[in-house]
Amino acid sequence: MSSTTPYSTPAKLAHWLIAALILAAFPLGLYMHELSLSPEKLRLYSYHKWIGMTVLLLFMPRLLWRLVRPPPALLPGPAWQLKLAEATHWLLYLLMAAVPLCGWLMSSAKGFQVVYLGLVPLPDLVGKDQALGTLLADLHSSLAWALMVLIVVHAAAALKHHLIDRDDTLRRILPFVKLPSGETRS
């Protein structure tokens, strides 16, 4: 594959949709956490849970797609950068699943059932246990912060490739961008 081989359309759509959802859920989580108990806080918690469950639901076919149809090869670069890029991608995948799963576990442990989109009650994953709920709340927060840090690193690396290296790393994942075939920019 050349440097102009783009990611598949399903991979691009999943990438940007999941990114948008995560980037909405994180500040919402920070904001709602600081509110006093009110109907607004409960509504925002529901929205936050719905976003998290949607990320989890989109993640599963995205992972399957990646396993069935591997992404284009990374562009040439120093071995350490290629290994770091590969590790970063897999860690992002791990956190895309772990953060919402941990939130679901936390809700279950705290005795608050997740009702997806206000319509579909999801089963509690663990019994009510306040101590476990508190532990899972801390873990959920830590994992969410780790995910955000990794997203910032991922975005910075993509911008570095685009602005400094002037290669097609970023352009290959952008939706609606046509890369010239047979021609490389790296």
| CATH number for the domain that contains residue 29 | 1.20.950
Residue 183 belongs to a domain: no
Residue 176 belongs to a domain: no
Residue 171 belongs to a domain: no
**Spatial separation of the C-alpha atoms in residues 143 and 152, rounded to whole Å:** 14
What is the tally of structural domains in the chain?
1
Q: How confident is the prediction for the chain on average, in pLDDT?
A: 91
Residue 83 belongs to a domain: yes
**Could you tell me what percent of the chain has a pLDDT over 70?**
94
Kindly state the average pLDDT of the residues 106-131.
96
pLDDT tens-digit series, residues 120-157: 999 999 999 999 999 999 999 999 999 999 999 999 99
Residue 100 belongs to a domain: yes
Domain that holds residue 19: 9-165
| pLDDT value at 38 more than 50 | yes
Residue 133 belongs to a domain: yes
| pLDDT value at 86 more than 70 | yes
Residue 174 belongs to a domain: no
Q: Which two tokens stand for residue 27?
A: 């500040």
pTM, whole model, 2 decimals?
A: 0.88
Residue 116 in contact with residue 47, Cβ under 8 Å? no
| pLDDT value at 184 more than 60 | no
- Phi-psi category of residue 144: left, alpha or beta, with phi > 0 → left and psi -120 to 50 → alpha: alpha
Cβ within 8 Å of residue 88, ≥6 positions away: 150, 153, 154, 157
pLDDT of 169 reads 87
Kindly state the average pLDDT of the residues 162-183.
80
Residue 3 belongs to a domain: no
